[in-house]
Amino acid sequence: MAFYNRKRNQRFLVWNGLMFFAIVMLKYISRECDLEDILYKTGHLRNRYCRDQFFRSMNLSSEDQGHCSSIIRGDQEAIAQTRLDKLIAKNKKVMKSEKDYLNLTKDCSLYKKTQKFISVPLSKDEADFPITYSMVIHANVEMFERLLRTIYTPQNIYCVHVDEKSPEVFKEAVRAIASCFENVFVASRLEKVVYASWSRVQADLNCMEDLLKSAVPWRYLLNTCGTDFPIKTNAEIVRALKVLNRKNSLESEKPSVIKTQRWQFHHQINNHMIRTNIQKSPPPISSPIFSGNAYFVVNRGFVRTIFENPDVQRLLEWGKDTYSPDEYLWATLYRMPGMPGSVPYNDKFQLSDMTSVTRLVKWSYLEGDTKKGAPYPPCTGAHRHSVCVYGAGDLHWMLQHHHLFANKFDPSVDDYAIRCLEEYLRHRALYGDLL
């Protein structure tokens, strides 16, 4: 009998021990999560619980999350369904107005919570590697907010240049959004931006000057416009920048004969750029002029040298009456001797938009059958200025590339493309895997 009593007592003690352990663990994992919990190593029980809790609070998934997963995988039936859905009036995207944002941002804490901005660095690597952004916008405040939310982390710095010509209510709404964040601000000087004019360069230069004054020890500057959207998470961007190892990355190639005319003649601004017959003097630098695009990924030393190097300053002054100077200036500085992170202007260092990391763009005249040598398949959205405004059918192709951002996106053309990309990136940022 004593033997059976001992066995029963042992079972009782084991059961009590297990219950006590379960209660302790339940209290442990159910207490409020903090920054340290979220930054624990991935396999930690506490971390998994906190990540799950955090993901639920930051979830951007809509009712059709499974639909987005199919679209991301390139499922043609799911992509075809989005085209049908866009034809149904009740499915058409209703954009928030400037007044909506003026009301939403009256309570910043509530605004950031309801709009689900990430409030903590998601890893130590990201926390230790702050990035800065120059964001040049002129319209569509909701698209600006969605772009900002997707690239936002509290350790980064965001300078927003709003076109001086934009309606006052738009500028007011952008300032209201920026005022809710310590690390987001509107540029101290605003330009009236005219397409293909120097003002587009000056907008980025104004943000560069402001960002250099920041006490945050940022490593790289990336620029965006209102139709850009990332195709990598902040963690992936940080990893890509570390691989660059202080080098810059941007399109830089020998210009065609037609493109050289952009800086060989004086241009005037009359609501748009007009070429005159007045020839300009040669560029005031000894290295060649290269062509590229408006987008760059450049290190802090490169940005600082722009304002300190006399040769660069002369080139900037010389370029103020040229056509689309943003499409040759950055490309030229990237190959200019003495610029931090630059590469030689030898032919060995030609870099196309498809090989740099800055921006994935589909030009209409280069689309075609990739099996027959085309650089990319046809656009599934629409075209604007010969550039593809992406549709949902472009996402699977897009996410196979190494670029950090893609251009162009427009919710009035295809909101599924943006919505599914938002969901994909948020899930990947939190869990590091696919939907």
- Please give the positions annotated as active site: 327
**Is 245 strand, coil or helix?**
coil
Biggest CA–CA distance in the chain, Å, is: 113
Query: What distance in Å separates the CA atoms of residue 111 and residue 121, rounded to the nearest whole number?
Result: 19
Cα angle, residue 97 at apex, residues 162 and 175 outer, rounded to 5°: 35
**End-to-end C-alpha distance for the chain, whole angstroms:** 59
Long-range contacts of 73-80 (CB under 8 A, 24+ apart): 73/396, 74/395, 74/396, 74/397, 79/380, 79/392, 79/393
Do 280 and 265 touch, CB atoms closer than 8 A?
Answer: yes
Closest CA relative to residue 413, chosen from 390, 397, 393, 394: 390
| SS3 state of residue 235 | helix
**CB-based contacts of 54, cutoff 8 Å, min separation 6:** 33, 38, 430
Check: CB of residue 191 under 8 Å from CB of residue 202.
Answer: yes
Radius of gyration of the chain, Cα coordinates, nearest whole angstrom: 26
Which conformational region is residue 252 in: left (phi greater than 0), alpha (psi within -120 to 50 degrees), or beta?
beta
